Amino acid sequence: MKKKLVKLMLVTSLIGASLFTGCGLNDAENLMEPPRLSISQEEVKALVKDVLDSNAKLVSPRKGENNSAIQFVDLDNDKKDEAIVLYMLKNDKYPLRGLILKQQGDKWKIDDGIKGIGYNFDNILFKDITGDGKLEIVVSWNIGEEGINKGLSVYKYEDGKSVELFNDSYEAFAVDDLDNDKKSEIFLVKLNKDEIKAKGELYKYVDKEIKLVDEVKMDGAIGIHYSTKVGMASKDKKGIFLEATLGAHSSITELIVMENGKLKNVFYNEDTESVDKTFRSYGAISEDIDNDGIIEIPLLRAPITYEDASMAEIPWITSWYKWDGKDGLEFSGEGYFNILGGYYFKFPEKWNERITLDYKYPDENNGRDELIFSYVDKGNKKHRLFTITVFDKKDWEKSSQKDGYVKFFEDTNKVYTVSIENNLTNAHAKEMSLSLEQIKDNFRIYKFNFQ
């Protein structure tokens, strides 16, 4: 028992020195016994938990795929993962901290070089920015309340120590290899609300430092960027897709690409200093909706019969467009997102603008989520084609009124059913009708991310 207590005190003192002081650790103090030669996330959690007090706690990044407080990644390309522990010290000059644990033989070397100001970690990425085959740590920090002001730092980890290569403020950012030269570039959006101007800045590792190499004008009338992603804008060109709010509820997409080493905002209008081509009435997010490897840009349109409806009453149809390689858009397809129902329904190619939708919210429909698809003839008469109804599983299982509902999908909580109109008399409506198999083919569960 005494040996275990001594060992625990030794480990606690070493980790505690790293966690709770701003001082560096010398080589003798910077080594600790690991639980085993290979360490798991749970072991790191337990180890760190033993030394945390009321002034420190583990914190996870708010966004991104690397959203754990403890992460494992091979930073120095030695085929062994380092453990990265993110935590916060309250009432400290640098409250946001990152601790890097590196295995050296049967011991672990600690580096406490990641330090930042702010309220929390917004995101953390691991990218090769210097082009040496090793990964740099890219950390974004929420500096202001509600994440309004943000900062970004880049750290190089080498010889057991992390060195900050770069830091700056931003409104939105992306890090990726845009020009296929084996080095990731840093793209920062700077927004000046007083002058109603915005610009994108491109930073690149040149001559052993990260330098500003290009700028591009952006729409300055936006509110905030609520989504930023990098992906293929065409078969051979990568792009940055930025979704931004505009006014009370409208939004736009800005697409940034590189051509001949220069940034280009493909939809930016120099005369109006704005992006009008991708304007839509509500927020939406670009994505590869048809799984062809190229990201589509969403626009919104109101179905027929909703010409006089209020904005909130309209079940908006999403029209998808691909970048045409110049400054325009090419139509790619349409569909409808049912947010409460948790699914997306792709419109078949034979459908046209005479298809309309009627949506009934669960609270006004006995708890059922109901979406009616209809064809509207030239006399503006609706011909119901089919209805997708979503039941809570418990309601479906105890329901005695299942006639007319065909279950075609279910998950843990919901049952998805369809009722198809088989007595259509209008010839055009018959052409627009879908079979059960066609409905299943065009339906898919969709996980909505509101970050």
Beta-carbon contacts of 101 under 8 Å, excluding residues fewer than 6 positions away, are 39, 44, 82, 83, 84, 85, 108, 109, 110
- Find all residues with CB under 8 Å of 170, minimum gap 6, and list them: 140, 150, 151, 152, 188, 189, 190
Angle between helices 2-20 and 41-51 (to 10 degrees): 80
pLDDT for residue 356: 98
* Chain centre to alpha carbon of residue 48: 29
Q: What is the pLDDT of residue 303?
A: 97
pLDDT at 138: 98
Q: What is the pLDDT of residue 53?
A: 55
Q: Is 86 within the bounds of a domain?
A: no
Rounded CA-CA distance 143/122 in Å is 9
**Domain range enclosing 385:** 358-445
Which has the closest alpha carbon to 298: 314, 322, 315?
322
Classify residue 290: in a domain, yes or no. Answer: no
User: Tens place of pLDDT for every residue, the chain, 451 residues?
Assistant: 333 333 333 233 322 333 333 333 333 334 445 444 456 777 776 666 655 556 778 899 999 999 999 999 999 999 999 989 999 988 888 999 998 988 887 777 878 889 998 889 999 999 999 999 999 999 999 987 654 689 999 999 998 899 999 999 999 999 999 999 999 999 999 999 999 999 999 999 999 999 999 999 999 999 999 999 999 999 999 999 999 999 989 999 999 999 999 999 999 999 999 999 999 999 999 999 999 999 999 999 999 999 999 999 999 999 999 999 999 999 999 999 999 999 999 999 999 999 999 999 887 667 899 999 999 999 999 999 999 999 999 889 887 678 889 999 999 999 999 999 999 999 999 999 999 999 999 999 998 764 4
Q: Is residue 245 part of a domain?
A: no
Specify if 366 maps to a domain: yes
Q: For residue 139, tell me if it sits in a domain.
A: no
Alpha carbons 125 and 448: distance in angstroms, whole number: 22
Please report whether residue 368 resides in a domain.
Answer: yes
Q: Residue 58 has what pLDDT?
A: 87
- Looking at residue 402, its pLDDT comes to 81
Q: What is the model's pLDDT at position 5? A: 33
Q: Whole-angstrom Cα distance, residue 142 to residue 71?
A: 20
Residue 419 counted as domain residue: yes
pLDDT score for 146: 53
Q: How many domains does the chain have?
A: 1
CB 406, CB 416: distance < 8 Å: no
Tell whether 370 is covered by a domain. Answer: yes
Say what the pLDDT of residue 18 is. Answer: 33
End-to-end Cα spacing for the chain = 48
